[in-house]
Chain A
Amino acid sequence: MDLNFGIGFALPLALGLAAMGGAFGLGKAVEAAMNAIGRQPEASGRVFLPFVIGCALIEALTIYALVAYFSGLGAISAAIEAGKAVAGG
């Protein structure tokens, strides 16, 4: 088990876990918004703004994981280049 295997195993798994957590959170937020609109349909305009802000804040955490994924990919390719330079040069 070397570095590439470790990163290759962990990065997509980490992203998937982050997406799962985000999906759960967003599901709860949408459920709450649906309940609120169902109870009082004319409140849908007032519910919309806090709902979208809440969803964006939850989504941001999943996006942090995506950004970390891209950085990890960059680290892999940098490590591969360095490995090639050491082995070939």
Chain B
Amino acid sequence: MLLHYIVLQGGEAVEQVTGHAAEHAESGAHEGMPHLINIVTAIGNYISNVLHNPAAGETLNYWVNVIYSWLIMLIILLFFALAARRRDREPGRLQNFVEMLFGGLDSFVHDVLGPKGRTYVPLIGTLFIYILVMNLAGMIPFIGHSPSSSLSITLSLAIFVFITVQLHGIRSLGPLGYLKHFADIPEKPHPVQIILSPLMFFLHVIGELAKPVSLSLRLFGNITGEDVLLAVFVMLLAGYLIPTQIVVYPIVILGSFIQALVFAMLTTVYILLMSPHEEEH
């Protein structure tokens, strides 16, 4: 019976174990795709089916992404609080690692955004580390569910980035300059550019709205793909208790790392695109 708990596939695995017809409130995109069982979902199903309290069980399953992202937040906070406790002149391994990480992020943001980019280093760093740990959470044996494989989490991150970029635009370009940036009107406008500016405005707005959509869908699709890949590989030899998913660990780690990096880099580039760039002309 333990083996039936290894993979949860739609409602069928729960039916085999408990014999009840479990009602699953899942989003349409996740039907028919295997997912790894994780602690919170297992507890939720236990409450629904064995303790006969479907309302409480479904509520727990509904909030699983929020629970996991808060758990990851707390783990990251603890890790960095521990690392920052002692500031030795000759750092130990933990402090050295954290300093390397911070140095890399700092130099990257400086390269792209220039000296004024200092204010955005915490934001980019947090996004990168948070998304990286969220992506990697799918690999941990009984936390087999990455919060970033849910469109809600990625969309909220993308909307947050969108609001940050627009506020940066308004603050650094001024409200009038912000609107001019959307209408693509340079300093000395040719009359044709002024005539075309409503069209350019419309196109630019569409382009700006496409950014959070693409950010969220990219992260969501990639991490869902990784989770499903892990589940499929677990299903291969789970009956013989052989952890076949180790074979895909390199792909999953690389993919998670790249997606976190791409999210952070694209945020930096969007902030750069919204900054005044008079030096180019």
- List residues of chain A with CB under 8 Å of any chain B CB: 49, 52-53, 56-57, 59-60, 63-64, 66-67, 70-71, 73-75, 77-78
Contacts and interface: CB of A to CB of B under 8 A. Distances in A.
B269 interface: yes
Nearest to B262: A56
A73 B218 contact: no
Nearest to B27: A74
Contact of A73 (B31, B262, B269): B31
A73 B27 CA distance: 11
B56 to A, nearest CB: 26
Q: How large is the interface on B (under 10, 10 to 19, 20 to 34, 35 or more residues)?
A: 20 to 34
Nearest to A78: B28
Interface of B: 27-33, 108, 111-112, 214, 217-218, 220-222, 224-225, 258, 261-262, 265-266, 269
Which of B32, B111, B221 is the most central at the interface, judged by chain A CB atoms within 10 Å of its CB? B221
Given A53-B265, A63-B218, 17 more contacts: A49-B112, A52-B265, A56-B265, A59-B218, A60-B214, A60-B218, A63-B222, A63-B225, A66-B221, A67-B217, A73-B31, A73-B32, A74-B27, A74-B30, A74-B32, A77-B31, A77-B32
A75 B32 CA distance: 11
B217 A73 contact: no
A53 B217 CA distance: 16
Contact of B28 (A53, A56, A63, A75): A75
15 contacts: A49-B108, A57-B214, A59-B218, A60-B214, A60-B218, A66-B221, A67-B217, A70-B29, A70-B30, A70-B224, A71-B29, A73-B31, A74-B31, A77-B32, A78-B31
Given A53-B265, A73-B33, A74-B29, A67 B258 contact: no
A64 B111 CA distance: 30
Contacts of B111: 49
Contact of A52 (B30, B31, B112, B261): B261
Contacts of A71: 28-29
A53 B221 contact: no
Contact of B29 (A49, A57, A64, A67): A67
A67 B266 CA distance: 20
A71 B217 CA distance: 13
CB-based closest 6 A-B pairs: A74-B28, A63-B221, A56-B262, A70-B29, A60-B218, A77-B31
A21 to B, nearest CB: 16
Contacts of B217: 60, 63-64, 67
Given A64-B217, A67-B220, A74-B28, A52 B33 contact: no
B106 to A, nearest CB: 15
B225 A66 contact: yes
A64 B266 CA distance: 17
A84 to B, nearest CB: 14
B266 A56 contact: yes
B280 to A, nearest CB: 16
A85 to B, nearest CB: 14
A57 B210 CA distance: 12
Nearest to B26: A74
A73 B261 CA distance: 30
Given A70-B33, A74-B29, A74-B31, A52 B220 contact: no
Contacts of B265: 49, 52-53, 56
